[in-house]
A and B are shown apart, each in its own frame.
Chain A
Amino acid sequence: MSAPEPTHPLAAAARGHHGATGGAALHVTFPAREIVQVMLRRGQDNALAAAMRAAFGIDPPGPGATATGSGVTAIWVQPGQWLLTAPRSSEGALATQAARAFVGLAAVADQSHGRTTIALSGAAAREVLSRGCRLDLHQAAFGPGRAANTPIAQIGCLVHQTDATPCFELTVFSTLADPFLHWLIEAAAPLGVDIA
């Protein structure tokens, strides 16, 4: 018996234009990401920082921050825990690389199928997010390279601003990606949204 083909959790989502006619103020894409959870072992802070520098060329970012190295972004999620993300290439490649680099320093778990990333861009990105998110996303308070965990529409969500356009990447549990997208379309409908 062969293993079932993995499918994207939002493969069945309705693509195309939703809501207000006459141009879309929000563009939504579903970038395929490798997502790897890294949990520090007690007392190994400095050793993990050195290992991350050696393997990925970045220091573990502090609270609310991210660090981007050679194709890999580390996102702080809680004390002693980070998510490493990279564009998806071969299955499990990033998790294998991280597990080898952090032997004895951190617990590494591949979350590529456990989490789903939804990317928002366009002029209305901040306004749509603010309809369900209590974070202050004004450029004076948030900005490119910042990240925060917060419930959006009562679904736990990692908000990561990737550039000043503004473009945001939202990472949610895959099982909640569909209801989350439903909320996103409802929230963006008055302004118009394109799902690619």
Chain B
Amino acid sequence: MLMIPCPHCGARDEVEFTYRGDATVVRPAADAGIEAFHDYLYLRRNPRGWQVEWWQHNGGCRAFLKVLRHTVTHEVRGVVTATEALEVPPA
């Protein structure tokens, strides 16, 4: 079970959150073409190591948060609000 330290609410249990996917995906420009949009929609890195993810604290403050999680150990090393940036350590 993950404990996620929400910047607003403090450490809360995983059941209060909804996983919303990779937070590093950037929407291409409107005229980028169908290939770029295909990749944006379907292709994900699935790294073995650190990943920045969206988690929504829908059981608490309802904010979208960026969480730096290790996909093997589940260690959560950083949580920030949506407008802030997280630095990804080398795997």
Residue of B with least CB distance to A151: B59
Say whether, besides A64-B9, A78-B8, A134-B13, A150 and B61 are in contact (CB < 8 Å). no
Is there an interface contact between B9 and A63, defined as CB atoms closer than 8 Å? yes
Tell me the dominant secondary structure on chain B's binding face: loop
Is there an interface contact between B15 and A78, defined as CB atoms closer than 8 Å? no
Asked if A149 is at the interface (CB within 8 A of a chain B CB), the reply is yes
The docked-state distance in angstroms from the alpha carbon of A156 to that of B18 is 14
Q: In the complex, how many residues of chain B place their beta carbon closer than 8 angstroms to a beta carbon of chain A?
A: 12
Tell me the dominant secondary structure on chain A's binding face: strand
Is there an interface contact between B12 and A78, defined as CB atoms closer than 8 Å? no
The docked-state distance in angstroms from the alpha carbon of A64 to that of B16 is 16
Residue of A with least CB distance to B14: A134
Interface residues of B in 13-42 (CB under 8 A from A): 13, 15-16
Asked if B63 is at the interface (CB within 8 A of a chain A CB), the reply is yes
With contacts A78-B62, A78-B63, A149-B61 known, what are 15 further pairs, Cβ within 8 A? A63-B8, A63-B9, A64-B8, A64-B10, A79-B61, A134-B13, A134-B15, A134-B16, A148-B9, A148-B60, A149-B59, A149-B60, A151-B15, A151-B16, A151-B59
Instruction: Point out residues on B near A: beta carbons under 8 Å.
Output: 8-10, 12-13, 15-16, 59-63
Instruction: Point out residues on A near B: beta carbons under 8 Å.
Output: 63-64, 77-79, 134, 148-151, 156
